[in-house]
Structure 1
């Protein structure tokens, strides 16, 4: 456990747990073992190239960047580490001004280079990326860049070719379960096995989602159980999704429509969230391959229409109706 993980002295709910339990070193990070091992070798040699971290949200990209800085610079890490979020500051002026100003500032004699961490770099405009490429070349002797993005394809090739690319995959269920159980133990929270399973299901590979859901569930009851987790996250139980789809496939559209209404009105789910759960659960419905393929096609069509602004309820009912008519 990290130093932050061991500090559980404050009352439950008084701090944001994703920050309180953020790993302080690379070895404290749950999951991503192969990636962490390669990064650790760079740190041990103190020979860091430009890095690019690509992957979905909540899988350890930002945590890895700050952990590298802590291990390289120790207590001086904040003075040698500049963090920028490109989604908020997308223009070319950010690259020209803030990054260049930091790269040009006087360095400590104890270190050969500084780190600049650019989060959500795929939000940078093409002009800003071109400016960033030139800046990376200009200050390569004294500065190393770590770029974080969800989609590496949105980063121009000249930048990608200058970086060692690390792809972070969604975290395993085991990694999320271990982290959640450790935090619950540190905070003195009583949990049930079904509650932990519900947190893992809701997280879907995203550690941030799991920890935030744990903190929310811990403030609403004495025990974090399955019902509490699904309530605070407005998530449908897998069996409810399975029952809704099963009724539609069997041709019982009124029953499927009634279950959908329950999820939208009583559970309070958004249409996009129902689409996401349907997509995750397609292969758990015990459907024939042809039926599964047809369901996937309908899900994709409904997802596109909802994203374009169509009415969620109409599109979801149309999805169930098409399954019932084909059934």
Structure 2
């Protein structure tokens, strides 16, 4: 589920007194899930628009799409709480479509829920379909008919990461909102609140590493922060990278510089040794190398060649290619890029 940060009730304390999820044993992604639309990080244009829909009692069917951890599920739960109050779950059917994605679920669970009129003053109930891009085409076709048939009783909120996997017929029946990755400044502001609330001991380098790995995903930030807080007395950048299994930028820098500057056999042996000692995967090294290549000076045609080869290697690995062979091929590509730069 999507997570955005701290409800206003939680500021300055370890607990949020108004948060129904408030529990010291809960993961922080749930403990600090937004309670109201105002608590949702960023996306003010989206929350303002939905707020006006609710005020005018004209909420349409909704389609939320965008990367993980950007607040999609949190937003619709805040909408449900705004419409129905604290007991909103009685008026909401929430399904995770990655588990319940067959046509039977649409025909039975959703249709049965939609058929019963609500006695609630607002006049409609809410169906939340999370991870709907995992639904089969047959289920989506059945869902299209249910959306049409029961609009008087029910509003649907369809949530997905990849909008291209949602049938065009369903997309046309919904008002679409794209949730972009969260701005770094917004993520940092909320992380600072959690750090204060939970008494986390973290140094500036550790926080910078945490934000670098987040890439706009609030759920990832809070999960890594909580894991580091549980495992270490003080969180530094080393602990953050160790906790996530991501290669440390210093290791990536050493490996890329060896690929560019050292003789082939020397570089290959050094990289293999580092991979074994640090437990590094080539997939992670490719991601790290991609970021590091942006910071070094290369001629444009050599940079283009290298980036293209990184993408090719990643694709080969994803289709089951040998890591050892791809490692040597990538090393050869770096040597070719050096030659291109010297021409």
Q: 1:64 aligns with which of 71, 75, 81?
A: 75
> Alpha carbons of 1:202 and 1:261: their partners in 2 closer, same or farther (altered >3 Å)?
farther
Unmatched tracts of structure 2, length 5 or more: 1-5, 17-22, 339-343
Number of the residue aligned with 1:45: 56
Task: Between 239-248 and 315-324, report the one with greater CA deviation.
Answer: 239-248
Q: Is 2:256 the partner of 1:236? A: no
> Alpha carbons of 1:67 and 1:238: their partners in 2 closer, same or farther (altered >3 Å)?
same
Q: 1:158 aligns with which of 165, 169, 185?
A: 169
What does 1:295-306 align with in structure 2 at a 5 Å threshold?
Answer: 295-306=306-317
What is the CA–CA distance in structure 2 between the aligned matches of 1:226 and 1:277, rounded to whole Å? 15
What is the CA–CA distance in structure 2 between the aligned matches of 1:169 and 1:262, rounded to whole Å? 39
- Contact 2:129–2:159 (CA<8 Å) still a contact in 1? yes
Unmatched tracts of structure 1, length 5 or more: none
CA shift, 1:59, in A, is: 0.9
Number of the residue aligned with 2:20: none
SS at match of 2:120: coil
Q: 1:29 aligns with which of 14, 26, 40?
A: 40
The number of equivalent residue pairs is: 326
CA shift, 1:13, in A, is: 7.7
> Alpha carbons of 1:158 and 1:234: their partners in 2 closer, same or farther (altered >3 Å)?
same
Number of the residue aligned with 1:131: 142
Q: 2:236 aligns with which of 225, 250, 253?
A: 225
> Could you tell me the TM-score, scaled by structure 1's length?
0.92
What is the CA–CA distance in structure 1 between the aligned matches of 2:46 and 2:162, rounded to whole Å? 17
> How big is the alpha-carbon RMSD for the aligned residues of Structure 1 and Structure 2?
2.2
Number of the residue aligned with 2:7: 2
> Could you tell me the TM-score, scaled by structure 2's length?
0.88
SS at match of 2:173: coil
What is the CA–CA distance in structure 1 between the aligned matches of 2:43 and 2:249, rounded to whole Å? 27
Number of the residue aligned with 2:124: 113
Number of the residue aligned with 1:78: 89
> Alpha carbons of 1:185 and 1:263: their partners in 2 closer, same or farther (altered >3 Å)?
farther
CA shift, 1:258, in A, is: 4.9
What is the CA–CA distance in structure 1 between the aligned matches of 2:39 and 2:328, rounded to whole Å? 46
Number of the residue aligned with 2:224: 213
Q: Is 2:334 the partner of 1:323? A: yes
Partner deviation per Cα, 1:86-106 (whole Å, 9 max, x = no partner): 111221111111101111124
